[in-house]
Amino acid sequence: MRVFQEQRGLRVDGICGRQTWSALVEAGYRLGDRLLFHRQPMLRGDDVATLQRKLGALGFDPGKVDGLFGVMTAAALAEFQRNVGLTADAICGPVVVQALERLGAKCEGPLSVAAVRELENLRSAPRTLTDRRIVVGDGGGLHALVTAVAKVLAVRGAVVNVTLHPDPSEHAAEANRAGAEVYVGFTVDPETDGCTTAYYAGHRYESPGGRRLAELVQEVVPATLDLKDGGIRGMAVPVLLETRMPAVLCELGPPSLVVERTAELAEAFGAVLAAWVATAGD
């Protein structure tokens, strides 16, 4: 169980909870096992991720390779169908799978279409925080810190939303609805004595903007506040998987130190976000 959790970018606790069970189910699907199409709730699984990678390898942009059959995946599939002379109904069945295999779409590549698009969006965006849309999320127990970070970012000119919902999927949904350009989430761990930052990585894809932001957090925050550097890690937990923009999740501890140094932490994260918007697309 722990090996599977590690491989899937989940929290490694050896417990088959809701997230691990969902990942086990999703891992059982192979492309061609079922019809794939857009619906609510979205179809999820490794077969969807394979479809996304294959479409991306042929130059069609399905969005982030996340195993979620969303609007962008449907649009990319329909465009592929039109280009190969099939009915553009955005349904992936046996004929589409055969067409993908016939064209020899490869799942490997130095950089996916989605990653290229994300980098281009970062390069073309303003290099300051002024009017940049940011969502800051409290994963539990860090309301004061989240509020302080939001205030620091607002002073720097950002348009900031704060989300306090206990369900991380709701954090992702709120960030998506807000059209956020970046999401920063915070959690506290009594067993942690430093700072660790996660970004989205899964299904042989990683968010370049998310990784760069995670690197900046770890370069700045532990050194500024004399915290243990827990490093960065690619993960596929819900809030990172389901956000459509670059996102990071910062785990901080111990709680007493976070409380004592809330103001300093907020200023450090303000500096991190300012550096990220200035350099993320380089």
Looking at the structure, tell me whether residues 69 and 189 fall in a common domain: no
Q: Looking at residues 41-57, what average pLDDT do you find?
A: 95
pLDDT for 113 equals 81
Inside any domain, residue 26? no
Inside any domain, residue 13? no
Inside any domain, residue 17? no
Task: List the CATH number of the domain containing 68.
Answer: 1.10.101.10
Looking at the structure, tell me whether residues 156 and 256 fall in a common domain: yes
Looking at the structure, tell me whether residues 101 and 139 fall in a common domain: no
Looking at the structure, tell me whether residues 124 and 103 fall in a common domain: no
Looking at the structure, tell me whether residues 47 and 154 fall in a common domain: no
Inside any domain, residue 115? no
Condensed to tens digits (0 to 9), the pLDDT of residues 218-272 reads 999 999 888 899 999 999 999 999 999 999 999 999 999 999 999 999 999 999 9
pLDDT for 109 equals 56
Inside any domain, residue 12? no
Q: Per-residue pLDDT for 40 more than 90?
A: yes
Q: Backbone phi, then psi, for 188, in 5-degree steps?
A: -120, 140
- CB 227, CB 179: distance < 8 Å: no
pLDDT for 275 equals 97
> With pLDDT > 70 as the criterion, what percentage of the chain qualifies?
97
Inside any domain, residue 16? no
Looking at the structure, tell me whether residues 154 and 184 fall in a common domain: yes
Looking at the structure, tell me whether residues 153 and 247 fall in a common domain: yes
* 1 confidence band (pLDDT: 50, 70, 90): confident
Looking at the structure, tell me whether residues 132 and 103 fall in a common domain: no
Looking at the structure, tell me whether residues 90 and 226 fall in a common domain: no
Condensed to tens digits (0 to 9), the pLDDT of residues 107-133 reads 555 567 888 889 898 999 999 999 999
Q: Which of 88, 109, 130 represents a domain boundary (last residue)?
A: 109
Q: Find the domain containing 194 and state its range.
A: 120-279
Top pLDDT among 104 and 135 is at: 135
Q: Which of 109, 133, 166 represents a domain boundary (last residue)?
A: 109
Nearest-angstrom CA–CA distance, 61 and 55: 7
Condensed to tens digits (0 to 9), the pLDDT of residues 88-110 reads 999 999 999 999 998 875 555 55
Q: Which of 109, 140, 168 represents a domain boundary (last residue)?
A: 109
Looking at the structure, tell me whether residues 155 and 242 fall in a common domain: yes
Nearest-angstrom CA–CA distance, 270 and 149: 7
For residue 98, what are the contacts with CB-CB under 8 A and spacing of at least 6? none
pLDDT for 192 equals 79
Inside any domain, residue 14? no
pLDDT for 111 equals 64
Question: Is the whole model's pTM more than 0.85, yes or no?
Answer: yes
pLDDT for 116 equals 86
Condensed to tens digits (0 to 9), the pLDDT of residues 195-230 reads 999 999 999 899 999 999 999 999 999 998 888 999
Round the average pLDDT of the chain to a whole number and report it.
Answer: 93
pLDDT for 108 equals 53
Q: How many domains does the chain have?
A: 2
Looking at the structure, tell me whether residues 189 and 254 fall in a common domain: yes
Looking at the structure, tell me whether residues 192 and 138 fall in a common domain: yes
Range name among 69-73, 177-181, 226-230 with the lowest pLDDT average: 226-230
For residue 135, what are the contacts with CB-CB under 8 A and spacing of at least 6? 160, 161, 162, 163, 171, 174, 175, 178, 180, 182, 183, 184
Top pLDDT among 137 and 104 is at: 137
Report in angstroms the alpha-carbon separations of 142 from 38, 138, 162: 36, 6, 12
Inside any domain, residue 18? no
